[in-house]
Amino acid sequence: MAPRDPEAKKKQLLEAALAEFAEFGIAGARIDRLAKRAGCSAGLVYTYFGGKDELFEAVFDHVVVRAVSTLPIDARDLPGYAGALFDGQVAYPEVMRLAAWHRLESEGRGGIAAIREADLAKVAAIREAQEAGVVSSRFSAEHLLMLVINTASMWSVQTEEIAGLSDDDHARRRGVVVEAVRVLVAP
Amino acid sequence: MAPRDPEAKKKQLLEAALAEFAEFGIAGARIDRLAKRAGCSAGLVYTYFGGKDELFEAVFDHVVVRAVSTLPIDARDLPGYAGALFDGQVAYPEVMRLAAWHRLESEGRGGIAAIREADLAKVAAIREAQEAGVVSSRFSAEHLLMLVINTASMWSVQTEEIAGLSDDDHARRRGVVVEAVRVLVAP
């Protein structure tokens, strides 16, 4: 039986799939379980998305592209940008898990074009700030963007042993991220 | 039939399991496939290790503890230490993949005691270097160790889109890691 509101049902399915993939990854996710979470049949998932791989890509595109595009970069305030990135990762840990699964299970597929484009726009903004002398030219604009993102995601991407070295609250961790980026980009 | 040299066979099994887990993770790994890689029966894996989870922990303990303990820290030369960490990660990418699977699939189990202990010894060495004034006291010793390890692993832990921003060879990437750590730890 087709749902009365297909768009609403698709959205419910994407949300259920996000939770399922964040927890179990691509190989570990089960279509029947996530369909049940969304209150529909497994058959409907195949009708809408084709299969598990296609569903993962739909979820990934949806959340990662949204996350990347809704946080505008201020290349003249990279420490502040890193702090905002950190806040977003703490607020939506399932997006970071999704990205980690994607890295492990889809390696070598070249990544998602929309993300690469958004990153290139950020690199251009950083290069401008370098030319204006407000950001260090010690690193290339590409490497600076990498360093900023990598520093902001420290607590999300490192192992429990590393991330648990210091028993900090959110404000203290955010302070370390912002200060490290300040040091890295100081002209 | 019991193998003639059980220790040699166990080692072969650990190597085969490392390759299998690095590729597929815990949920995706298959005992029959890795037993075949090691040239033995699936039954022998259960006899030696109990089950898949126990086998993963044996492999993880084996390679990660070895990796952590064979790279001595020189707290007075943290940029050099970061460069050596980076070299190790490039030489043994399967160890980084194993750590990433472990983080995703064993979250909340508290991590491995031997690794935490090795990390605490490194923190103590950094604190000494801070007290001697050769390393910045802008960050706590714990945060500095995190920043050093996180910066060294930038190309291993970030997504393809981020890691592919700049088309560098090994020497150039290593140079960025070493220089970033130099800036972060400068007194």
* pLDDT value at B1 more than 60: no
**Which residues are within 8 A (CB) of A80 and not within 5 positions of it... i.e. 6 or more apart?**
A74, A178
**Would you call A97 and B111 a contact, using CB atoms and an 8 Å cutoff?**
no
In 3D space, the residue among B6, B7, B21, B9 whose CA is nearest the CA of residue B56 turns out to be B21
Residues B82-92 have pLDDT tens digits of 999 999 989 98
* DSSP code, position B77: G
Q: Model confidence over A11-35: pLDDT tens digits?
A: 899 999 999 999 999 888 999 999 9
Q: CB within 8 A of B129, min separation 6: which ones?
A: B75, B76, B78, B135
In this model, does residue A112 exceed pLDDT 80? no
Question: What pTM does this model have?
Answer: 0.89
Tokens 């598990």: give the residue.
Answer: A52
The residue ranking higher by pLDDT, A157 or A169, is: A169
Rounded to the nearest 10 degrees, the angle between the axes of helix B170-185 and helix A170-185 is: 110
ipTM score assigned to the predicted complex: 0.89
pLDDT-derived band at A5 (thresholds 50, 70, 90) equals confident
**How many angstroms from the chain centroid is the CA of residue A21?**
14
Query: Rounded to an integer, what distance in angstroms lies between the CA atom of residue A22 and that of residue B80?
Result: 36
Q: In this complex, do B160 and A119 lie within 8 Å of one another by their Cβ atoms?
A: no
Q: Which residues contact A23 (CB under 8 A, 6 or more apart)?
A: A29, A97
pLDDT confidence band for A1 (50 / 70 / 90): low
Q: Give tens-digit pLDDT for B137-152.
A: 999 999 999 999 999 9
Supply the pLDDT for residue A102.
87
Chain B residues touching A28 at Cβ < 8 A: 25, 27-28, 105
Q: What's the rounded Cα separation, in Å, for the pair B5 and B68? A: 29
The model's confidence at residue B32, banded by pLDDT at 50, 70 and 90, is very high
CB proximity list for B182: less than 8 A, separation 6 or greater: B79
Element (H, E) at A65: helix A52-70
Mean pLDDT, chain B, integer: 90
State the pLDDT confidence band at A108, using cuts at 50, 70 and 90.
low
* Amino acid letter for position B182: R
Which DSSP state fits B1?
-
The sign one gets for the Cα dihedral B107, B110, B113, B118 is positive
Residue A133, number of CB atoms within 10 A of its CB: 9
Tell me the C-alpha to C-alpha distance, in Å, between residue B136 and each of A172, B42, B76, B86, B161: 18, 53, 11, 22, 32
pLDDT digits (tens, 9 = 90+) for B36-65: 999 999 999 999 999 998 999 899 888 876
User: For A167-186, how does the pLDDT look when each residue is reduced to its tens digit (9 = 90+)?
Assistant: 899 999 999 999 999 999 99
Q: What confidence tier does A143 reach under pLDDT thresholds 50, 70, 90?
A: very high
**Could you report the per-residue pLDDT of B15-26, keeping only the tens digit for each?**
999 999 999 998
Interface of A with B in 36-95 (CB under 8 A): none
Give the model confidence (pLDDT) of B148-184 as tens digits.
999 999 998 888 888 888 889 999 999 999 999 999 9
Q: Does position A46 have pLDDT exceeding 60, yes or no?
A: yes
**Cβ distance of B161 and A107 shorter than 8 Å:** no
Q: Are A43 and A2 in contact (CB under 8 A)?
A: no
Close Cβ partners of B146 (under 8 Å, ≥ 6 residues apart): A154, A158, A162, A163, A165, A166, A176
- Is there a contact between A153 and B151 if contact means CB atoms under 8 Å apart? no
- Kindly state the tokens that stand for A14: 């994407």
Burial label for A114, CB within 10 Å (0-12, 13-18, 19+), is middle
Find which of A57, A150, A178, A181 to mutate to test the B interface (most B CBs within 10 Å of its CB). Answer: A150
Burial of A59 (0-12, 13-18, 19+ CB in 10 A): buried
CB nearest B164 (choices: A97, A111, A147): A111
Which residue in the set A101, A115, A138 is minimally distant from B104, CB to CB?
A101
CB within 8 Å: B147 and A154? yes
